[in-house]
Amino acid sequence: MGAAHGTPAARQRTTAVITAVLVTAFVIGILVVVSRAPGPGRDARAYPADRGTITLAGALGRAHVRIPDCLAGTLRYAVPGPSHDLYLLLGGSRPCLDRFITINTLTGEGTVSELPAWARDGRGEALGWRLDPSLGYTLYTGRPAPDHEVEALIRELSDGSGLQAYVRAT
């Protein structure tokens, strides 16, 4: 038996190494458990294309967009890319969509014959939106804050049951 293992200094070093290894293993174990713990869950209103890096409330706040209560239950949304653009699909009655237009100070630009770039370059399609300019969308625009823009394509549903709005907010 070697003399070094029996000395108090050697035993103290061995105890320190074992303690450090056990503490490290414990910390790693806790980090693994925490990283695999389920989060609050995905918002059911989010499109699959949504990155999930910001809540709907956070995205609305960042884009300076407000949603009236009458639309809150029907909306779908996504913040799909690194640009932080917010895409919303809203459906409701004319008074409810009029409230959305009013509280977001949007201005009607008239019926569009050509859709905005975001509605025809694949961004809307990635959300499952099939936007056809022949359906008679009215474009509404607004600038709720410097460097922020809202565009809404709104149309009446063919069955007359309400309106539908496709919104992009930057």
* Partners of 140 in the β-ladder: 108, 152
Question: Given this model, what pLDDT does residue 147 score?
Answer: 87
Q: Is the pTM of this model over 0.85?
A: no
Question: Given this model, what pLDDT does residue 35 score?
Answer: 44
Write the pLDDT tens digit of every residue in 77-98: 999 987 789 999 999 999 999 9
Average pLDDT over residues 95-110: 95
Read off the pLDDT band of 23 (50, 70, 90).
Answer: low
Question: Given this model, what pLDDT does residue 137 score?
Answer: 95
C-alpha–C-alpha distance, residues 170 and 168, integer Å: 7
User: Is residue 157 helix, strand or coil?
Assistant: coil
Read off the pLDDT band of 34 (50, 70, 90).
Answer: very low
Sheet of strand 150-156, all strands in order from the earlier edge strand to the far edge: 76-78, 86-92, 163-169, 150-156, 138-142, 107-111
User: Is residue 91 helix, strand or coil?
Assistant: strand
- Token look-up 């539908």 returns 164
